[in-house]
Amino acid sequence: MKNIALLLTLAVFAAGCANQDVKEQSKAAVEQRDLLESQRKSDEEAKRAQIAREQEELNRQLEDQKQRQAQDTAEVKPLAQPNVAERPLGDLRSQLKDPASPLSKRSIFYDYDRFDVKNDYRGLVEAHAKLMLDNKELKMRVEGNCDERGSTEYNLSLGQRRADGVKRALMVLGVPANRIEAVSYGEEKPKATGQDDDSYGENRRSDIIYPGYE
Amino acid sequence: MPRTSSENHRRALLKLAGAAALTSPVLVRAALTIEIVGGSGKEIPVTVLPLANQERQKDKVSEIVLGDLLRSGLFREQSAGWMAQFPSEPEQVDWRNLRNRGVENLVIGNIVERSDGRLALRFRLMDAIKQNQRTGFSYTIPSGQLRATAHKIADVIYEELTGEAGAFATRICYVVKNNDRYELQVADADGGNADYILANREPIISPAWSPDGNRIAYVSFEKKRSIVFVHTLSDGNRHVVANFEGSNSAPSWSPDGQRLAVTLSRDGVAQIYAVNADGSGLTRLTNSLSIDTEAAWSPDARTMLFTSDRGGSPQVYRMPVGGGAAERMTFEGTYNVTPRWSPDGKSFCFIQRNGGRYNVAIQEIGSRSAQLLTDGRIDSSPTFSPNGRMILYASEFNKRGILAAVSRDGRIKQRLSEATGSVREPAWGPLSKSR
């Protein structure tokens, strides 16, 4: 132990000597670092503000939708009722399997550490919203997933955010919240078991599931 | 109180094991095997002689004690193979010969089977240079406690020779995944005595020991969604602590064992709440638009560390236990998660993304920079040993989940693995109160 302490003291002494020469340089480095730090801070603030804006926008859309729905249901209810009874879901199973049907696509994929539903999936979400609106007794489950990297618990929360994001998009399209269950499996249910970017990409997803029809 | 079929199955198994115990001695479960992959470089020499009459017992005390000491990485064995006869009392020791062979620390003792069926066990740690006793204890125990007692002896020797508390007589828990079967297992800190307390077809994550070591909180997906349970080890009973819409997860005990911090997504996004251990008295602690999770109650019960992405990337923050203004703790890199306090409350370990890797790092409270301790591809779920010396964590080896441990200075590394299956989500239990 003593030897190590002595060596350390010597090392510190040597470092101290070198310090004199590099003081000017390190001052510049500190300024550079401060600059980067403030840049990073403002980046973070911008991202935070954007998240807040997105949230606000979603809430506003949701509120509009609710109001419209309240008006709609009052007016169209008598017409909608018989429709529901006459639409059996017998062919849903085959539609979900048929590659030609838009309903056969039930996974939404994400970028690393992101939970926003990309524009590419607008058609997919709309197709499922329509199915839900046309079949008022149908229930849906959205399962959020993550790739295996990082924290089990952070990934569970991220997966929930992904699933909730899909649920919110469906709600904006008029599907009532009580017919969609959004859950997260975090990193616990990977679809691909490889340790490469393709596999990770496949695991960062939300799956739409119709219990009883899969 | 919900009881699953897996639980009933478990009860049946336990009964079976009890009945079988009459004819076959133990229900054998695969134990973790431990391999040391690094050393301190300056180990203390120790000689542990077989205790007189120990060969009549199933558990060989001297082997367990020596195994514990060697695995810490702080000791090296000085063999006594040259001895014609092993002394068990101080007056039988040939001091001159010992000194000539360079023996410094000698452990001797004996076991006596009493007429009531219990065992009287005695050990002494002798200083071979000064020719006197450094410490020694005697125990009267049922024979089933021989292994546990050997770990206690290792703790006494460890503390006497290193000056810090040992953690051999402690337990760990972890999740083993074998195909579609998940088991929450509890084992001695050396991997011995492993058995499961819960088996599921769905994932189990985030086990957390209560401060008294008698309960484990965990997250089970057995109902196809995450629910927080508290499970009592002594009777196998359990109850739901949090089962709200969305995710229920990340349990962390208050130091007095009365409350749990949990993460719930019920109000729109994962936020941290506190709840009584029986599930009553829910209070929201964080109010943000971001993911707040992985709360860790400080040992002094005043603050909590937690993970939040409120700054744009997940980082470690600290807040008062009642909630309120949070202070950012980590500043290096864009991914710092899973903070865990050291038992003395002076530092914390966490997972830091390091290029493409995810590794265990340690940071002093009050410092803004961390020291990386591991170099695996994806390390996760770090947990301090209760004496603060080692950090147990989940890693991988040959593409399989394994447990590994690293000393807080990064110099000693151990790899623990099970014969089959993938091991993850470790949690190290508290120090036992008795010695």
pLDDT computed for residue B82 by the predictor: 86
The closest CB to that of B265, out of A43, A157, A195, belongs to: A157
- What pLDDT is attached to residue A59? 77
- Confidence band for A79, pLDDT divided at 50, 70 and 90: very low
User: How much is the pLDDT for B140?
Assistant: 96
User: What integer pLDDT is reported at residue A3 of this predicted model?
Assistant: 46
Minimum Cα–Cα distance from B251: chain A residue: A153
For residue A16, the model assigns a pLDDT of 39
Q: What is the pLDDT of residue B416?
A: 84
Cross-sheet strand order for the sheet of B422-428 = B195-200, B181-188, B171-178, B422-428
As a whole number of angstroms, the distance between CA B3 and CA A204 comes to 33
Residue A50 banded pLDDT, cuts 50, 70, 90 = confident
Encoding tokens for residue B132? Answer: 């006197």
Task: Give the pLDDT score at B200.
Answer: 93
Instruction: Test A184 with B378 for CB contact under 8 angstroms.
Output: no
**Alpha-carbon distance B162 to A151, whole Å?**
34
In A138-177, the residues whose Cβ lies within 8 Å of chain B are: 148-154, 156-161, 164
B200: left (phi over 0), alpha (psi -120 to 50) or beta: beta
Output the pLDDT for position B84: 85
In the block, which residue shows the tokens 């590419």?
A120
How confident is the model at residue A11, as a pLDDT? Answer: 38
Chain B segment 136-195 residues within 8 A of A by beta carbon are none
Q: Which of chain B's residues have a Cβ under 8 Å away from the Cβ of A184?
A: 226, 246-247, 265
Best probe of the A interface among B309, B360, B381, by most A CBs < 10 A, is: B309
pLDDT for A47 beyond 60: yes
How far B207 CA sits from the closest chain A CA (Å)? Answer: 11
ipTM over 0.90: no
pLDDT at A61: 77
Which pLDDT value is given to residue B55? Answer: 94
Confidence of residue A45 (pLDDT cuts 50, 70, 90): confident
A154 to B313: CB separation less than 8 angstroms, yes or no: no
Q: Residue A78: is its pLDDT beyond 50?
A: no
User: Higher confidence at residue A57 or residue A24?
Assistant: A57
Q: Which of B357, B344, B328 is nearest to B408 (CA)?
A: B344
Q: State which H helix or E strand residue A126 sits in.
A: helix A122-134
Kindly indicate the confidence band of residue A36, based on its pLDDT and cuts at 50, 70 and 90: low
Top-confidence residue, A76 or B102: B102
Tell me the pLDDT tens digit for each residue of A111-143: 999 999 999 999 999 999 999 999 999 999 999
Instruction: Give the pLDDT of chain B (435 residues) as one tens digit per residue.
Output: 344 444 444 433 333 333 322 222 233 344 556 666 666 668 899 999 999 999 999 999 999 999 999 888 899 999 888 888 899 999 999 998 888 888 999 999 999 999 999 999 999 999 999 999 999 999 999 988 999 999 999 999 999 999 999 999 999 999 999 989 999 999 999 888 899 999 999 999 999 999 999 999 999 999 999 999 999 999 999 999 999 999 999 999 999 999 999 999 999 999 999 999 999 999 999 999 999 999 999 999 999 999 999 999 999 999 999 999 999 999 999 999 999 999 999 999 999 999 999 999 999 999 999 999 999 999 999 999 999 999 999 999 888 899 999 999 888 888 887 778 899 999 999 987 544
User: Is residue B313 within 8 angstroms of chain A, CB to CB?
Assistant: yes
Query: CB of B127 within 8 A of CB of B136?
Result: no
Please give the Cα distance from B421 to B400 (Å, whole number): 8
Phi then psi for residue B282, to 5 deg, are -70, 130
**Inter-chain touch A164–B225, beta carbons under 8 Å:** no
Q: Closest chain A residue to B219 measured between Cα atoms?
A: A153
Spatial separation of the C-alpha atoms in residues B231 and B6, rounded to whole Å = 14
pLDDT of A17 strictly over 70: no
pLDDT of residue B237: 95
pLDDT at A55: 76
Residue B349 corresponds to which tokens in the numbers above? 């370990």
Residue A68, pLDDT score: 65
The pTM is what?
Answer: 0.80
Q: What is the pLDDT of residue B412?
A: 87
The residue with greater pLDDT, B111 or A8, is B111
Range scoring the smallest mean pLDDT among A72-76, A192-196, B79-83, B105-109? A72-76
Q: In this structure, what is the dihedral angle of CA atoms B307, B312, B318, B322, given to the nearest 10 degrees?
A: -80
- Which residues in chain B have their CB less than 8 angstroms from residue A148's CB? 378
- Residue B199 is classified by DSSP as E
